[in-house]
Chains A and B, each alone.
Chain A
Amino acid sequence: MIYEEISAESRARRTLTGTARMLLALKLDGPLLIGLALVAIYGLFVLYSASGQSIATVIRGAIRLGIGAVAMLVLAQVNPNFLRRTAPALYALGIVLLIIVDVTGYVGKGAQRWLDLGFIRFQPSELMKLAVPMTCAWFLHERPLPPSPLTLLVTAALILVPAGLVVVQPDLGTGVLITIAGGLVLVMAGLQMRIMAALAVLGVIGAWVGWHFLHDYQRQRVLTFLDPQSDPLGAGYHIIQSQIAIGSGGVFGKGWMNGSQAQLEFLPERQTDFIFAVMGEEFGLLGLAILLLLYLFIVGRALFLAMQTQDTFARLLGGSLALTFFVYVFINAGMVSGLLPVVGVPLPLVSYGGTSMVTLLAGFGILMSLYSHRKLVGS
């Protein structure tokens, strides 16, 4: 074992460039890092335009990006075995915090998503975005795959309890994302196709039942998605204006800071959830295609890294993190372009604000740790 490690390092020292050696020492993956950096820089340029040339906003965005990068760097150093062992504890802590948030939210009569720790506002639901797939991977790590029915049920419970707690906050979007993050662990663990099909049927029925439990504003989002024109100045306004923005951008766009929809404030949430439309208006189909290709590269690289890992925990968690990232992209781009209902999911690495950027980069940090420590994993 030790011999192997030394041998690998010594070989690397001989063949790799200085930069690559540094990346290796920092346990970071170069290609993935480049992909993330390109998207982030692209995003900052768009943010400058979307915020009405506010350099202050761009700086704040960059600071947030820096915090995420630090989180990524730190997590990349953490031994996967430690991550695996602490996953259940993290999960338990998350559940407790979610309950506290729900209770205080109930007392305070209104939406409650964060805990005020005095120096920072902390969203337990963000923690759960990572803790749930980690715990699922931990749980499946020891068990034979594809999962047995009992394993499946327990895993499902591990996913749905925190997801349910988030949905009642109420934060349907994050609840769905947590479910997807956990579900993707199961899918990568070899969840049987027939079970997936059955779940799909159940999902349809569940949606029909769930409709009656949705808040008015959530129902409205669905209805408006189905027919935006029905309420052009109300709930449909976001979708109509974002489609106008994207559509009027054409192939090459109106040019940086020349998007009238964005610059003249027709486009709501243009710095956050709808920044994809700003890109579409100012950089056109070309700009969006480049962005999507960058995302594809990131996801592809992340999947590749996950495939290279040696143990179940690493594979499942890595696969889930990679795919969840894409789900973010797809939901945001789909909602802004009118393919999906508006569910308040930010565009990864580009949308301004929120803690999701930190969570995402932390996820990539974990992924890099899983990859760079792959030879040590096993026991």
Chain B
Amino acid sequence: MAATTETIEQVKEATGTYKYGFVTDIESDKAPKGLNEDIVRFISARKEEPEWMLEWRLKAYRRWLTMESPDWAKLDIPPIDYQDSYYYSAPKTVKKLDSLDEVDPELLATYEKLGIPLNEQKRLANVAVDAVFDSVSVATTFREELSKAGVIFCPISEAIRDYPELVQRYMGLVVPVGDNYFAALNSAVFTDGSFVYIPKGVRCPMELSTYFRINEQNTGQFERTLIIAEDEAYVSYLEGCTAPQRDENQLHAAVVELVAMTDAEIKYSTVQNWYPGDENGKGGIYNFVTKRGVCRGDRAKISWTQVETGSAITWKYPSCVLRGKDSVGEFYSVALTNNHQQADTGTKMIHIGEGSRSTIISKGISAGLSQNCYRGLVHMQPTAENARNFTQCDSLLIGDKCGAHTVPYIVSRNPSAKIEHEATTSRISEDQMFYCLQRGIGEEDAVSLIVNGFCKEVMKELPMEFVVEAQKLIGISLEGSVG
């Protein structure tokens, strides 16, 4: 408590704004700096949450206080002062720019390379767009179509109000509040995120990505996503934005929970390109994310696909708990690090159900001075009769100043379960480069081509419309890593 009081005092002294207490003015809807129970209450009140939600948050907060930041990852994390950030800040009304001419030319050049349509470029760069692109109307159209199918897709705060029984039943089921340090922090202070509910037998009529890209642009630092697919339901969800966000936010701790019932399938794709910091390692997002799905029913399937090119530090292990008989878990990952980026990412496949199967394909690319680590667990419990796992981890090193690491954990407690793991580390061969160069392909394009070939197995799992952008993103992220 002493630290909290101190913070309040400091805020009071430094800004003189504390006299307004928690009554914030409308222009900058912000809670005071720091983290304590009052901040948690403030967030909950702002979100007009029911009492049970506040209790849940407080429980998480108290749990968080007793926990320690994990240090087992191969990451060099500078100490984070949790009292030195804002935990609630409503989307700021940023001044709209009048035309693209006012936008940072470097940013525009990147959009150009990604092949982003002009209208979308304007939206991303916060340029006022015409009515045709009005996200509200577009959103309404989508919402009508979705509700016709019975699909619930709304911000999590709305779901807490409108579907409390669903949220109460499932939130924290897959990632309990005390699961880990960052999950506990998120549980206490999450401000944004999505809620998806697909009723029995429904195949979601569209990729939920499109909607997300338009409406959930200004997601907070602490998102919370919950996706529930009832029996025989199907949904494909794409998170993130393929265009670079010039976000200077320091800490990003999200939680994603997936629940798949009998014969349901959830496909979750991420293209993460948060600001990685500059070439000297200054700035950038610390991305500490807990993602986990549970296949509760028989033959349920959860598939994670991620393309991670951004963030200064990535700490992320999208996992599957395969409880159902013959349930399936998949993890396809490309993690690319350049300059001073650090990534420690991988997956956990917990096999409980008979005949459960999992596939892990991980492609790590390190360039510059970066460190890239795959860390994964395959756990066969005694009940996992005839379960099967196949893991392949390949690392590619570009340059001699970076590191590529593979740390797989394999635990098998059932003899009929079969586990196969293989990992390789190599660099771009001179033959491959020579082949490209002598055909007139420039050095950077050649590297991009070869790296994309290296990642092909993962890329083909992405929803089609994003493959092209993701491929270009890899090329851009590698810029300056050769020559």
Are chains A and B native binding partners rather than an unrelated pairing? no
